[in-house]
Amino acid sequence: EAQVTQNPRYLITVTGKKLTVTCSQNMNHEYMSWYRQDPGLGLRQIYYSMNVEVTDKGDVPEGYKVSRKEKRNFPLILESPSPNQTSLYFCASSKETGPYEQYFGPGTRLTVT
Amino acid sequence: QQPVQSPQAVILREGEDAVINCSSSKALYSVHWYRQKHGEAPVFLMILLKGGEQKGHEKISASFNEKKQQSSLYLTASQLSYSGTYFCGTPRGETSGSRLTFGEGTQLTVNP
């Protein structure tokens, strides 16, 4: 089954404790992205990757890091989480060629206290 | 720049029609529409390309006015399953669908 998986699905942590949210896709997609979703703000792109070792900032990259060492995986790293990073996070992947449909993972709800 | 969606919310009875609008302050080469049901991930509905080509969902249609930098999503004879939040997304470049900027969303509720 074609899918994007994220782990963990729920995470409660404390300020400053480094964490990683994993994302994996089994569709051999070139593009992968991370979004955060906050009430009233819609989906905002954090980072995206066009392929292995190629990443770029989205609209809200501050406080986040990413890496793309393998085509299927695109982890999101919060080195020193703060309460304003409490949010619902989605990973998505898509093909390099059209129609550019993005497949979203199930989401990770992060709470930073 | 984030596209602007209107209305922010709409409540319908089953069988009624709705229109959701998406406008941008910059030139558009394509508009992407997604629906997110409560507690779920967004799901692709359709993409509208410059030049009028349309792909996507059978029972939901959309238009794309390049000159006005607007797109509209038409939901006719709405069903309960249409409930959810609808997002339009516009790419930063001419063709890249992965670098989307999404609007704030339109919450659609369909009641029996």
Q: Compute the distance between CA of residue B66 and CA of residue B49 in angstroms, rounded to an integer.
A: 9
Query: A90: which chain B residues are within 8 Å (Cβ-Cβ)?
Result: 41-42
Instruction: Note the pLDDT tens digit of each residue in B9-43.
Output: 999 999 999 999 999 988 888 899 999 999 999 99
Phi-psi region of A66 (alpha: psi -120 to 50; beta: other; left: phi over 0): beta
**Hey, are the CB atoms on B42 and A105 less than 8 Å from each other?**
no
Beta strands A10-13; B43-49: pairing state: unpaired
Q: What is the pLDDT of residue A84?
A: 97
Query: A32: which chain B residues are within 8 Å (Cβ-Cβ)?
Result: 98
Kindly give, in sequence order, each residue whose CB lies less than 8 Å from that of residue B53, ignoring residues fewer than 6 positions away.
Answer: none
**Hey, are the CB atoms on B55 and A99 less than 8 Å from each other?**
yes
Query: Residue B57 above 70 pLDDT?
Result: no
Q: Compute the distance between CA of residue A5 and CA of residue B44 in angstroms, rounded to an integer.
A: 17
Q: Compute the distance between CA of residue B15 and CA of residue B18 in angstroms, rounded to an integer.
A: 10
Kindly give, in sequence order, each residue whose CB lies less than 8 Å from that of residue B47, ignoring residues fewer than 6 positions away.
Answer: A98, A99, A100, A101, B30, B31, B32, B33, B54, B55, B56, B97
Instruction: Note the pLDDT tens digit of each residue in A12-64.
Output: 999 999 999 999 999 999 999 999 999 989 999 999 999 999 999 999 999 99
Indicate the average pLDDT of chain B.
88
**Sign of the Cα pseudo-torsion (A79, A92, A48, B73, in order):** negative
Confidence grade of residue A10 (pLDDT, cut at 50, 70, 90):
very high
Q: Compute the distance between CA of residue A4 and CA of residue A25 in angstroms, rounded to an integer.
A: 4
Interface contact B84, partner A, CB < 8 A: no
